[in-house]
Amino acid sequence: MTLEDFSDVTDDTDEGETESDSVSSADGGTAAGSAESDTIDNHSDNNTDDRDSFELIAADVAGDDTGMGALSVSQGLRVAEDDDETTLRAFITTGNREAVRIGKYLLVPYPDDETLFCRITGLEYAQEFHADDATEIHARRMMRQSTFEERDYKFMADLDPVAVLYEEYDDDGTVELNRRMTDRVPKPGAILRQATDSEQIKTGLNIPEEGVFLGHLSVGGETVETAAQPPTIDYRLTDDYEAGDPLVFRHTLVAGGTGSGKTHAAKNILRQYLSDERAYPMDDRRTVSPAVVQFDPQDEYAQMHDDNPELDDGFARKLEREGVAYGGVDDTIALVPTEDGTSYPGEGHRAEQIQFTVPFSMTKQRPWLVAGSSLNDNQYSGLQTLLNRFFRQYGKSGTYGQFTSFLDDPALKEELDESGRVHEATFDAIKRRVFGMPAGIFDQSAKPITELDHQLVRPGGLTVVPTYHLSSSRAKELCVLAVSAYLIDNKLSNAPASDRIKETPVVVGMDEAHNFLADADTVQARKVVQKFTEAAKQGRKERLGLFLITQDPQDIADPVFKQLNTKLVLNLGDEDAINSVNIPTNLQSKVPYMEKGQFVVYSPDNSEPVELIGLPTCLTRHD
The vertex-273 CA angle with 533 and 258, nearest 5°, equals 70
| Torsions phi, psi for 283 (to 5 deg) | -65, -25
Looking at the predicted structure, is the pLDDT value of residue 546 above 70? yes
* Span 117-141, pLDDT tens digits: 999 999 999 887 777 778 888 788 7
Q: What is the C-alpha separation between 342 and 357, in angstroms, rounded?
A: 13
Mean pLDDT of 291-297: 97
Q: What is the C-alpha separation between 113 and 165, in angstroms, rounded?
A: 9
User: Domain residues of the chain, as ranges?
Assistant: 69-140+148-197, 237-359+441-561, 373-435
Query: How high does pLDDT run on average in the chain?
Result: 88
145 pLDDT tier (thresholds 50, 70, 90) = confident
Mean pLDDT of 295-315: 96
Cis preceding linkage at 230, omega within 30:
yes
pLDDT of residue 550: 97
Q: What is the C-alpha separation between 332 and 293, in angstroms, rounded?
A: 10
Residue with the larger pLDDT of the pair 247 and 10: 247
Mean pLDDT of 300-306: 97
Residue type, 123: L
- Least confident stretch, 82-86, 309-313, 546-550: 82-86
HEC string for 356-422? EEECHHHHHCCHHHHCCCCCCHHHHHHHHHHHHHHHHHHCCCCCHHHHHHHHCCHHHHHHHHHCCCC
Task: Compute CA 362 distance to the chain's CA centroid, rounded to the nearest angstrom.
Answer: 38
Q: What is the C-alpha separation between 546 and 533, in angstroms, rounded?
A: 10
- Least confident stretch, 165-174, 190-199, 233-242, 552-561: 165-174
Mean pLDDT of 375-397: 93
Looking at the predicted structure, is the pLDDT value of residue 557 above 70? yes
Sorted by sequence, the CB contacts under 8 Å of residue 475 that are 6+ apart come out as 339, 438, 440, 441, 467
Looking at the predicted structure, is the pLDDT value of residue 16 above 50? no
* Span 186-244, pLDDT tens digits: 999 999 999 999 999 999 999 999 999 999 999 988 999 988 888 999 999 999 888 77
What fold is seen in the domain 237-359+441-561? Answer: Rossmann fold (3.40.50)
With beta carbons less than 8 A apart as the criterion, state whether 71 and 187 touch. Answer: yes
Enclosing H/E stretch for 21: helix 7-26
pLDDT of residue 21: 45
pLDDT of residue 53: 56
3 state DSSP class of 126? strand
Residue with the larger pLDDT of the pair 63 and 192: 192
pLDDT of residue 409: 94
Mean pLDDT of 369-380: 84
pLDDT of residue 227: 81
pLDDT of residue 15: 43
Q: Taking Cα atoms as reference points, which of 622, 3, 618 lies closest to residue 316?
A: 618
Looking at the predicted structure, is the pLDDT value of residue 115 above 80? yes
| Torsions phi, psi for 466 (to 5 deg) | -80, 140
Distance (Å) of CA 185 to CA 71, 116, 194, 259: 11, 9, 19, 45
Q: What is the C-alpha separation between 182 and 80, in angstroms, rounded?
A: 8
- Least confident stretch, 55-59, 298-302, 455-459, 551-555: 55-59
57 pLDDT tier (thresholds 50, 70, 90) = low
* Span 489-532, pLDDT tens digits: 999 999 999 999 999 999 999 999 999 999 877 787 888 999 99
538 pLDDT tier (thresholds 50, 70, 90) = very high
